C-alpha cells in the first residue's frame, strides 16, 4: 500500500479549468495532505509503517476530512495541511474496516470549502473524471473510469462494486475522485494493474465509492464505529493463484496462526462450502456469524486434506484506539 509522495503530474495530463463545468481550483483546494504517526508497538506498524502520508478530502464546513482508513489506523497523531501550507492537528474519528474509509476531524478551522458529495453509482464506465492528490492542479490528473466491479483484497476485504480508473495517479492513498459535476465520487485506495482482453495490462487505481459513506456516517461520527456486529476475522493473507487460494501470510498470533494454519496451505472449503473466488472465500467466512464464531476450514497441505477449526475474533480488538483530545 506504499506510494510515492508529492509527485507532480505531467502538464499534458493535468485537468484544465476550461475543460470542466465547475470551479476546478476550488474543488482541488478541498484535498488536503494527511500525515499520521503510529506507535512502534501498534498491530499495523509492521505492515503499514509508523509514518504514513497521503491525502484526504474536506467534506463539511466543520472541517471533517474523509480519507482512506489505512493511513490513520492506530494513529497517535494526525496532521492535516491545506494548500496554504498551514498544518492543523486532526483527531481520528473512525476507521471502518468493512468499507476501508476513515474520518478525521480538524481541531482548528481549515478555512477550506468542502467538496460536495456525489455518487459513484451515477458514473458510467468511460466517463471522464479527475483524480486529485493534495497540491492543486500540478498534483491532479485527468482520468477515466475503466471498470466498475467487485474487488477482493487478500487481507479479508471485499467491495461489492469498486471503481477502477486510469491512468494511475502516483499519490493515490486518500485522493479525491471528482466527477464531471465537481462532486466527490470516491476515495483512492490502491495502485492496480488493470487487465485488458488481448492487450497488456494498464496501470490504474482502485477507488472506494463515496456511496458507502452515507449509510454509516452518522454512526461513525457518534460512536466511532458502526453498530453492526463485527465480522469474523481469521488473520490470513490469501492469494488467488489460478483459482487456487493459497495462504501467503498469517497475522502473527492471529486466529489462523494459533489454530495451526500454515503459509502455503490451500483453502478448499469453508464450512464445507467450496471456494471458487477470493470474494466467495471471505463471504463464506462472514456468513457464519459475528466475530467469535469458529470457522471450519478444509485445507490442502503437502498432498493431504486437513481440516481445522479457526476461532475468529474482532480485528478491531487488536488495534490501538485514537487518543482523546
d(CA 156, CA 171): 24
Evaluate the omega torsion of the peptide bond into residue 167 and state whether it is cis, within 30 degrees of 0.
Answer: yes
Helix (H, G, I), strand (E, B) or coil at 206: strand
Q: How confident is the model at residue 323 (pLDDT cuts 50, 70, 90)?
A: low
- Quick one: cell of 51? 509514518
Please tell me the predicted confidence (pLDDT) of residue 260: 97
Query: pLDDT (tens digit, 9 = 90+) per residue, 98-117?
Result: 999 999 999 999 999 999 99
Place of cell 476546478: 24
Identify the residue whose cell numbers are 497540491. 135
Closest listed residue to residue 52, CA positions, set 29, 68, 28, 31: 68
pLDDT of residue 4 exceeding 60? no
- List, for residues 257-291, the tens digit of each pLDDT value: 999 999 999 999 999 999 999 999 999 999 999 99
pLDDT digits (tens, 9 = 90+) for 232-246: 999 999 999 888 999
Is residue 141 within 8 Å of residue 94, measured between CB atoms? Answer: no
Q: What integer pLDDT is reported at residue 2 of this predicted model?
A: 41
List pLDDT tens digits, range 160-190: 999 999 999 999 999 999 999 999 999 999 9
> How does DSSP assign 44-100, residue by residue?
THHHH-SEEEEEEEE-STT-EEEEEGGGTTT-SEEEEE-TT--EEEEEEEEE-TTT-
Residues whose CB is less than 8 angstroms from the CB of residue 13 and which lie 6 or more positions away in sequence, other chains included = 141, 142, 167
Q: Give the predicted TM-score (pTM) of the model.
A: 0.94
Domains of the chain: 1-228 (2.40.10.120), 236-318 (2.30.42.10)
Amino acid at each position: 500500500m506504499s506510494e510515492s509522495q508529492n509527485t507532480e503530474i505531467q502538464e499534458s495530463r493535468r485537468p484544465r479549468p476550461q475543460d470542466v463545468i465547475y470551479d476546478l481550483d476550488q474543488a482541488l483546494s478541498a484535498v488536503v495532505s494527511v500525515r499520521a504517526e503510529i506507535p512502534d508497538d501498534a498491530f499495523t506498524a509492521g505492515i503499514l509503517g509508523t509514518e504514513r502520508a497521503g491525502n484526504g478530502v474536506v467534506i463539511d464546513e466543520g472541517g471533517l476530512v474523509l480519507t482512506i482508513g489505512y493511513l490513520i489506523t492506530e494513529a497517535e497523531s494526525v496532521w492535516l495541511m491545506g494548500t496554504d501550507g498551514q498544518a492543523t492537528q486532526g483527531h481520528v474519528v473512525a476507521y471502518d474496516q468493512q468499507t476501508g474509509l476513515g474520518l478525521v476531524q480538524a481541531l482548528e478551522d481549515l478555512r477550506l470549502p468542502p467538496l460536495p458529495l456525489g455518487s459513484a453509482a451515477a458514473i458510467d464506465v468511460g466517463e471522464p473524471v479527475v483524480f486529485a492528490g493534495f497540491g492543486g492542479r500540478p498534483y491532479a490528473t485527468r482520468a477515466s473510469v475503466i471498470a466498475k466491479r467487485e474487488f477482493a483484497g487478500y487481507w479479508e476485504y471485499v467491495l461489492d462494486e469498486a471503481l477502477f480508473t486510469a491512468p494511475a495517479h502516483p499519490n493515490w492513498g486518500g485522493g479525491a475522485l471528482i466527477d464531471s459535476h465537481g462532486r466527490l465520487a470516491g476515495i483512492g485506495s490502491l495502485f492496480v494493474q488493470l487487465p485488458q482482453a488481448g492487450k497488456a495490462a494498464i496501470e490504474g487505481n482502485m477507488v472506494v465509492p463515496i456511496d458507502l459513506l452515507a449509510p454509516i456516517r452518522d454512526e461513525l461520527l457518534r460512536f466511532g464505529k458502526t453498530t453492526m456486529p463485527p465480522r469474523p476475522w481469521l488473520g490470513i493473507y490469501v492469494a488467488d493463484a489460478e483459482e487456487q487460494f493459497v495462504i501467503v501470510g498469517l497475522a502473527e498470533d492471529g486466529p489462523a496462526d494459533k489454530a495451526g494454519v500454515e503459509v502455503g496451505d490451500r483453502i478448499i472449503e469453508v464450512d464445507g462450502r467450496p471456494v471458487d473466488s477470493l470474494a466467495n472465500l471471505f463471504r463464506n467466512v462472514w456468513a457464519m456469524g459475528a466475530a467469535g464464531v469458529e470457522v471450519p476450514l478444509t485445507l490442502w497441505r503437502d498432498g493431504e486434506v486437513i481440516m481445522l477449526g479457526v476461532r475468529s475474533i474482532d480485528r478491531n480488538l487488536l488495534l490501538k484506539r485514537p487518543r482523546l483530545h
